[in-house]
Amino acid sequence: MIDIKFLRENPDAVKENIKKKFQDEKLPLVDEVIKLDAENRAAIQAMEQLRADRNRISKEIGGFAAKGLKDEVEKAKAKIAGFDEEQKQLEAKQAELSEKITKIMMTIPNIIDPSVPIGKNDTENVEIERFGEPAVPDFEIPYHTDIMERFCGIDLDAARKVAGNGFYYLMGDIARVHSAVLSYARDFMINRGFTYVVPPFMIRSNVVTGVMSFAEMDDMMYKIEGEDLYLIGTSEHSMIGRFIDTIIDEDKLPYTLTSYSPCFRKEKGAHGKEERGVYRIHQFEKQEMIVVCKPEESKMWFDKLWQNTVDMFRSLDIPVRTLECCSGDLADLKVKSLDVEAWSPRQKKYFEVGSCSNLGDAQARRLKIRVKGKDGKYFAHTLNNTCVAPPRMLIAFLENNLNADGSVNIPEALRPYMGGTEKLVPKK
């Protein structure tokens, strides 16, 4: 959510930003919120004047009473009663205007960074850099669920009966790799100076609306019936929510946190044939990175966060590339975003395995996360990034470490988490 003062003083810049995000239907909202803001400020000013008049007349009552001017006292009291009624009406009007303004402001997209490429959707995202040599072996690589089934490692049919489509049972060696990758990612981030956290897996609605846009909320979140609770779609939601309505001493920044959680997502829309199996699912687990920092440090932390993901995947012998998200592919709260994609030797292309986002002060403004500095208070900047999110990550892991005989190599970095195992051998 952008600053109302900035919008008021720079309406053309806000409109231009909306155009860059190809959301022209939102252009009238700028003028509408400016009009409502003017009415709101006028209502506040009128209330302040009423309070001043009430205080003045209240003082006069004492003087009238001391002089025995009973009629003047009654007239003054009648005026105050009238002021009180007018005050109630103004307060109701101001509250209504404030609510309308907030609702509109939460739908106007954040100002994107000047470096963001302009484009309508993810087909216009821009490749930045590749890490590792993408290779295609001289043997056919099966679909990822077929690889898992050779290890007796997945049961989608039973999961479908128990929970429906989009769920899975992982078993045996495949389940062990899944857990090993998460444990390795946890320690990888701890070794880079991040504090490990296990957060709540449910959050209240005021946190949901603080960390994401309404469109994202509708597309992603599962609500607990009869309670003001939602299942988290990523641990970022509850991790940023931890700081709601707080004032942080500047010398405590930055907070660098890495969190584990299960994640739950609706995953609306049609899915392609390559998104079957465990690619696009309703439940998965993730190791996340979160940073709360000073505004001038957010660009530096953005670059550090995505580099952590690249380094983690490369340590597991998986080639990756980074992709700059274009303006039309950015969620409304994001200032800048970069995807990390892993190489799929089966598909002979890259696919997304992580996303790094700088949200500026948008989440902090919504959740009132302020910093107390030597020159006063200001809103913090928040960033998040995926370290690793199996089981999707397992697709890249299995394909890139598969041998012609169906066995799977365990990279050296992961072996301590697999009891020293160097290779998985299929059971069928």
Q: pLDDT by residue (tens digit) across 81-134?
A: 777 788 888 889 999 999 999 999 999 999 999 999 999 999 999 999 999 999
Residue 379: is its pLDDT beyond 90? yes
- The predicted pLDDT at position 56 comes to 78
Confidence class for position 79, pLDDT limits 50, 70, 90: confident
Q: Are 361 and 367 in contact (CB under 8 A)?
A: no
Residue 234 dihedral angles phi and psi, to the nearest 5°: -165, 150
Closest CA to 21 of 333, 327, 331, 359: 327
Left if phi > 0, otherwise alpha if psi is -120 to 50, otherwise beta: which for 359? alpha
Residue 21 dihedral angles phi and psi, to the nearest 5°: -95, 5
- For residue range 335-365, list pLDDT tens digits in order: 999 999 999 999 999 999 999 999 999 999 9
Q: Give the C-alpha separation, 236 to 356, whole Å.
A: 11
β-pair partners for 341? 321, 352
- For residue range 296-332, list pLDDT tens digits in order: 999 999 999 999 999 999 999 999 999 999 999 999 9
Mean pLDDT over each residue of the chain, to the nearest integer: 92
Q: Which domains does the chain have, with CATH numbers?
A: 4-105 (1.10.287.40), 122-424 (3.30.930.10)
For residue 58 the two structure tokens come to: 């209240």
Pairwise pLDDT comparison (302 vs 269), residue with the higher score: 302
Q: What is the pTM of this model?
A: 0.89
Q: Give the C-alpha separation, 167 to 155, whole Å.
A: 9
Q: Give the C-alpha separation, 261 to 183, whole Å.
A: 12
